[in-house]
Structure 1
Amino acid sequence: MKAVVYKGPREVGVEDVPDARVERSTDVLVRVTTTNICGSDLHMYEGRTDFETGRWFGHENMGEVIEVGDGVDKVQVGDRVVLPFNVACGHCKNCERGLTNYCLTAQPDPHMAGAAYGFADMGPWAGGQAELLRVPWGDFNCLRLGEDADERAADYVMLADIFPTGYHATEMAGVSPGDQTVIYGAGPVGLMAALSATIRGASKVMVVDRHPDRLRLAESIGAIAIDDSQVDPVEAVLEQTLGLGADNGCECVGYQAHDPSGDEQPNATMNKLVQSVRFTGRIGCVGVFVPQDPGASDELARNGQIAFDQGLFWFKGQHLGSGQAPVKKYNRQLRDLIAAGKAEPSFIVSHQLSLDEAPEAYQHFDARDEGWTKVVLKPAGV
């Protein structure tokens, strides 16, 4: 089968690799029809992780079931399914508590928890930027879709990661009807957090970024765009909230945050959120932070640390939730919102391309080129 193979920093190629196949009785084999390039893929693409050359990316996947193992009871050949990026067993201590983002079975390292398709340090699972994908514990991990699955693939594929991840940010932030919510980062996840905050009834959603195409998308769903290359975002948020600060906020950037001049400043968004959110407010952090970052520019960041404004955070009595999203906690209800026409996460999609066009797409998406807001790949062709 063909797959998007990592060849080294900022280099991928579409190559023939061994076919994915059913290996255990609980496996499901999926013919991938739609798979996304995610902002998290860029950390690996840029060489900022220990992702091994020769592996292939792809944790935002959906497709058609073409084979099931003897131990699969629910999922059937012909089903259209979307797969949570979390590979989870469904029966370990964490999975039983709904924390499929920290599965203990799918992660072979006993000192770690959590697994994902085609992701650094998240187990051996092959990615779905390929023609075929092996799905372990298929009955548990497959979310079946309705008759409109192919027609609305660009919406449903967002259930694999970024829509539930954006929603998780608002869940940790405690966004409630009438709240004023600020979101730092208008990449795909930040835009999904803005959409989620709107779904949850926020009266005012403010989105901080500096890319005009992303800010336009935020405005298209009713959010207030704040360009931090033009104004102080903290002052802008205070202005919008009578000087009190937002009720809650979401961090959707992560450890490669930059200041407007282009210099990396991994603590920038976290500290600005502390300043932007009111006393006793809540912050949900889904932007990726890593335990080690050898490519960082300073010693703290190289060891996965940031100079966090703990004093002000403590003084304001704020609350912080962080970590990867447990996709299965949200994907079923978010699927039903899409099916009912209440949510259309595909508004962020700028390009739908064939798998063969992936190398060029990675270059444009990594460069944050104008108009490259979200890339969807179609292994069978567009």
Structure 2
Amino acid sequence: MRALVYNGPRQVVVKNMPDAKIERATDVLVRITSTNICGSDLHMYEGRTSMQPGRILGHENLGEVIEIGGAVDRVKVGDRVCLPFNIGCGFCENCEKGLSGFCLTCNPGNAGAAYGFADMGPYAGGQAELLRVPYGDYNCLVLPRGAEEKENDYVMLADIFPTGYHATELAQVQPGDNVVIYGAGPVGLMAAYSSMIRGAALVMVVDTHKDRLALAEKIGAVAIDDTEGGGIERVMELTGGKGADKGCECVGYQCCNMHREEVPNLTMNNLVATVKATGRIGVVGVFVPEDPNADNKLEKRGQMAFDFGQFWFKGQKIGTGQANVKAYNRFLSRLIEKDKVKPSWIVSHELPLEQAPEAYQKFDERRKGWTKVVLKPGK
């Protein structure tokens, strides 16, 4: 099969790899028809993780079931399925609680497994023609008839849409809330979209990329350009000096200041400043336990200079962690099916798998207009 393989920092190549296959009776084999490039893929692409050369990337996947293991009961050959990026077993303590992003069995010694991701188990990614899905009955979201007509919407259920929604769940966004979101990338845009779904009265999106801020404005959010560093003042002005009721961090540890310098604590401390006393903050941007290529000692250990005193004094609350996709993907799928939402509005490019290396390069460079890339294996 053709697959996108990580060879080292900023070195990815599409090449022939051994076909994915059924390995256990609970497996499902999927022919991938859509697979997204995610912002978190760029951490690995840039060499900022422990990703091993030779592995296949890709954790946002959708396709058609072409083979099932002998113990698979619910999923059938021919089903179109979207795969949550987190791989769960379905029977461990965390999976039983709905915390499939922190499965205790799929990545022994760690909580959580994923396709094609550093430190998340040995599983191959889906930026390929075929993908093995462990525990297929649990991990496959079977899509309704006619799903191929909305495939670019449904593939967003693998990660980006549930992750944006998860940010609002962690922040406990409620009808009538004022919400500030740091980051106008795909996750931030989906958090803004989700805030509106949940009935927020005012949604503010803070970033320095004008093309992405323009997308936020198209869905009715207030775009705040922080290029000159006046974002905090603008949020406070729009909220009458009180600060937002809720805030979402959708950037992560590689966030940059107005000079394009990495400042890992920037968005977190800005949220402490712009969320009101007793407000809540949801953090879904990726922060890692260690970053060997960081510039200072704190960052190398995955630590930051956090304004904890101000956070404590304001009585704020914070929720963190990757999205438990299965907690959200089914009801979000129904919204897509009934034309209540259309998350594919963030897609900027639809490309064949063979163009993935070029797409990674341009997406990593934050080229103007490169918001969300959907790869189409087999085309």
Bin the TM-score by the shorter chain. Answer: over 0.9
CA distance in 2, matches of 1:230, 1:348: 26
* Residue aligning to 1:188: 186
* Residue aligning to 1:240: 238
Q: Spell out, residue by residue over 1:276-311, the C-alpha distance to the aligned partner (whole angstroms, 9 max, x if none).
A: 000000000000000100111111000000000000
Alpha-carbon shift at residue 147 of structure 1 (Å)? 1.8
* Residue aligning to 1:10: 10
The amino acid that maps onto 1:361 is A
The amino acid that maps onto 1:321 is G
* Residue aligning to 1:344: 342
* Residue aligning to 1:228: 226
CA distance in 1, matches of 2:85, 2:28: 15
CA distance in 2, matches of 1:249, 1:365: 26
SS for the counterpart of 1:313 is helix
* Residue aligning to 1:106: 106
Identity, in percent, stands at 67
- How do residues 1-382 of structure 1 correspond to structure 2 at under 5 angstroms? 1-108=1-108, 110=109, 112-381=110-379
SS for the counterpart of 2:318 is strand
Q: Spell out, residue by residue over 1:319-340, the C-alpha distance to the aligned partner (whole angstroms, 9 max, x if none).
A: 0000000000000000001111
The amino acid that maps onto 2:158 is A
Alpha-carbon shift at residue 380 of structure 1 (Å)? 1.5
Q: Spell out, residue by residue over 1:16-70, the C-alpha distance to the aligned partner (whole angstroms, 9 max, x if none).
A: 1110001111100000000000000000000000100000110000000000011
Q: TM-score, normalised by structure 2?
A: 0.99
CA distance in 2, matches of 1:224, 1:339: 28
Q: Spell out, residue by residue over 1:145-189, the C-alpha distance to the aligned partner (whole angstroms, 9 max, x if none).
A: 112211111100000001000000000101000000000001000
SS for the counterpart of 2:147 is coil
Q: Which moved more, 1:222-231 or 1:277-286?
A: 222-231
The amino acid that maps onto 2:54 is G
Alpha-carbon shift at residue 341 of structure 1 (Å)? 0.8
The amino acid that maps onto 2:16 is D
Alpha-carbon shift at residue 231 of structure 1 (Å)? 4.7
8 Å CA contact 2:229–2:258 kept in 1: the answer is no
Q: TM-score, normalised by structure 1?
A: 0.99
Alpha-carbon shift at residue 232 of structure 1 (Å)? 1.2
Q: Spell out, residue by residue over 1:83-119, the C-alpha distance to the aligned partner (whole angstroms, 9 max, x if none).
A: 00000000001101111010011012x2x21000000
CA distance in 1, matches of 2:256, 2:85: 26
CA distance in 1, matches of 2:208, 2:52: 32
Unmatched 5+ stretches in structure 1: none
CA distance in 2, matches of 1:80, 1:249: 35
CA distance in 1, matches of 2:88, 2:18: 23
Q: Spell out, residue by residue over 1:238-285, the C-alpha distance to the aligned partner (whole angstroms, 9 max, x if none).
A: 010000000000000000010010110000000000000000000000
SS for the counterpart of 2:152 is helix
CA distance in 1, matches of 2:232, 2:246: 13
Q: Which 4+ stretches in 1 moved above 4 angstroms? A: none
Number of aligned positions between the proteins: 379
TM-align CA RMSD: 0.6
CA distance in 2, matches of 1:340, 1:230: 42
SS for the counterpart of 1:243 is coil
CA distance in 1, matches of 2:3, 2:246: 40
CA distance in 2, matches of 1:220, 1:67: 42
CA distance in 2, matches of 1:107, 1:307: 31
